[in-house]
Amino acid sequence: MNSFSLPPFPQDADLRRLVHFSASDGRIWLAGHRMLLLHVEALAGLRRELIQTIGTEQTRRVLKRAGYASGIRDAALARQVRPGATLYEQFSVGPQLHMLEGAVQVTPEHFDYDLESGQHLGIFRWDHSWEVEAHAKHFGPQTDPVCWMLIGYASGYVSAFMGQPVIYKEVQCAGCGDAHCRIEGRPLKDWPDGEQLQADYEADSLLVRMEDLQAELESLRTSLNPSDDLGELIGRSKSFEQAIGLLRKAAATQVTVMLTGETGVGKERFARALHGMSPRAGKPFVAVNCAALPHELIESELFGAEKGAYTGAGTARPGRFERADGGTLFLDELGDLPLAAQAKLLRVLQNGEIERLGSTQVRKVDVRVVAATNVDLEAAVADGRFRRDLLYRLNVYPIAIPPLRDRVEDIEVLAQHLLTQFMAQHNKRVAGITDRALDAMRHYSWPGNIRELENLIERALIITTAGQMVDVDDLFTVPPNQQHITVNESGELHQSISSDFHALFEDLQRRGLSLDVLEDGLIQAAVSQAEGNLSAAARTLGLTRPQLSYRLQKLKQL
């Protein structure tokens, strides 16, 4: 075991920089995690009520688990913040953050940690525990330790940091009349009463057990009713639930379904889910993107062709309708279907009959058509590009799939689901997605919808270092420009310039540009991009028109 003659904790300036007070939008961040500045008095009151309602034992367990969760979150930061530092310095991130967060003062007394064997013995002294203050106020001196959230934090932090279960125990507590609190931590297996200690961290309350039973019941229900399989469709937002409700009702019938929605909303997934829930589930699902096929090939693709029917048709081949016989044919971007093919499609929908290209033999097919479009077919009808009778035939049962920006509540569950999928696909593990990144995603407009979300998550997984959390910068190349308030060395809040400006400044230096030249250049670029429209140029620069005119005049005088 490596024994360290314990130096004091390193400087914590690197940790202070992680705290951002974003007072203008009512949020505080620790790296990517949202934090809260709240009164100990309020938390003490909550603690007292919990004890009076569910008893000391349950409260102790609940609060230990809450502390454990925040310890795990802080552990994700440790190696990220201090790459290349000694193990002890990296480990110190936990106790130092605990101090910065205002929980307790930590003094290291003993620290052994062997990476190879996983041996660990840590002893720390605690002073000014907020829990001792809170508890003593309402309940007076105790016989058992009272620093429940704090000890949970220590166990959670060290377990996540070491990647194995480590349990910290309060061997002395100021809440029991000792001069200080003192904690001792070892790997789970090294505690004789380890199992018992570990049990505190397992969610076992009556409430959780009821939740478990409910989940079990739910899964039983699902296995009894396998046709209700939404597959890749995930969400619980109202607009999404509405669309799913319509889809479920259509599944049992033969009705032709028309899916509408912006590009990238996942129309094919809806079509697949419809097929999966329908009595046709055991038969083929065939998807055709009408926009992706050259116009001269589209009819042979859909309806098949006899040998020699067109140049290059060397052999007779069945079309997608024949291949989908008994099942479902998904026609995406239907608005791009040429008029001649539209006439043939109408015939299949009316009589279930097709003719291969170059043949007069009529073939019967039993195909359910699901069509999709992201263009306004009514407008296409008005322009003469789409047959009105076909539109009526297709538009019996339209389902509008909501764009992602109208499904804000679904973004987190979708992002987590996609992340898990891509982790398996790329064989790489990251620790999750930070609150700040999720927040940025909820505020983004998603012009490319789910497909764009998929792309961003996959890219972010590739960029993020294994074991760390996906943060805003990993998702969006141009992070939202934020002016932040951080904590300086003397513990005061002060305004800091976002790192974007540092990068911009370094770029200016490299190019040898002065502020004047930069300003002139920006103004000229804006005017030229607006094709001389000064009002438009002023808007893009965040100026009024008179302000812009004034600056242009100044420019001309140079």
- Annotate 154-187 with DSSP letters as a single string: HHHHHHHHHTS-EEEEEEE-GGGT-SSEEEEEEE
CB of 146 to Zn ion, least distance (A): 6
Q: Which stretch binds Zn ion (CB under 5 A): 19-27, 107-115, 140-148, 376-384?
A: 140-148
Q: Which stretch binds Zn ion (CB under 5 A): 2-10, 65-73, 126-134, 450-458?
A: 126-134
Q: Is 404 helix (H, G, I), strand (E, B) or coil?
A: helix
CA distance 368 to 275: 9
Q: Which stretch binds Zn ion (CB under 5 A): 38-46, 90-98, 129-137, 308-316?
A: 129-137
- Size of interface with Zn ion, in residues (CB under 5 A): 4
Q: Which stretch binds Zn ion (CB under 5 A): 1-9, 123-131, 330-338, 529-537?
A: 123-131
Q: Note every long-range contact of 458-463, with CB atoms under 8 Å and residues 24 or more positions apart, other chains counting.
A: 458/418, 458/422, 458/426, 461/419, 461/422, 461/423, 461/426, 461/428, 461/430, 462/426, 462/428
Residue 329 · residue 286 · CB < 8 Å: yes
104 binds Zn ion (CB under 5 A): no
266: Cβ contacts below 8 Å, ≥ 6 apart: 232, 233, 401, 449, 450, 451
Question: In DSSP terms, which residues pair with 410 in a beta bridge?
Answer: none
548 binds Zn ion (CB under 5 A): no
181 binds Zn ion (CB under 5 A): yes
Q: Which of residues 42-71 bind Zn ion (CB under 5 A)?
A: none
Task: Rank residues 93 and 147 by Cβ distance to Zn ion and give the closer one.
Answer: 147
Task: Rank residues 104 and 418 by Cβ distance to Zn ion and give the closer one.
Answer: 104
CB of 36 to Zn ion, least distance (A): 22
Residue 88 · residue 48 · CB < 8 Å: no
Q: Which stretch binds Zn ion (CB under 5 A): 20-28, 178-186, 304-312, 488-496?
A: 178-186
CB of 187 to Zn ion, least distance (A): 22
Task: Rank residues 170 and 332 by Cβ distance to Zn ion and give the closer one.
Answer: 170
**Torsion of Cα atoms, 320 then 326 then 330 then 334, to 10°:** 70
Residue position matching structure tokens 């190879």: 116
Q: Which stretch binds Zn ion (CB under 5 A): 124-132, 360-368, 417-425, 501-509?
A: 124-132
Of 269, 337, 252, 245, the closest CA to residue 299 belongs to 337
Residue 337 · residue 345 · CB < 8 Å: yes
106 binds Zn ion (CB under 5 A): no
CB of 459 to Zn ion, least distance (A): 45
Provide the token pair at 403. 């764009």
Task: Rank residues 129 and 159 by Cβ distance to Zn ion and give the closer one.
Answer: 129
Q: Which of residues 458-487 bind Zn ion (CB under 5 A)?
A: none
According to DSSP, residue 129 is labeled -
CB of 4 to Zn ion, least distance (A): 24
Q: Which of residues 251-280 bind Zn ion (CB under 5 A)?
A: none
CB of 150 to Zn ion, least distance (A): 7
Residue 71 CA to chain centroid, in angstroms? 21
173 binds Zn ion (CB under 5 A): yes
CA distance 289 to 360: 26
CB of 70 to Zn ion, least distance (A): 17
For Zn ion, which residue of 30, 75, 147, 313 counts as binding (CB under 5 A)? Answer: 147
CB of 200 to Zn ion, least distance (A): 16
Residue 328 · residue 368 · CB < 8 Å: yes
Task: Rank residues 136 and 381 by Cβ distance to Zn ion and give the closer one.
Answer: 136
CB of 42 to Zn ion, least distance (A): 20
Burial of 322 (0-12, 13-18, 19+ CB in 10 A): middle
CB of 152 to Zn ion, least distance (A): 12
Binding residues (CB under 5 A) for Zn ion: these are 129, 147, 173, 181
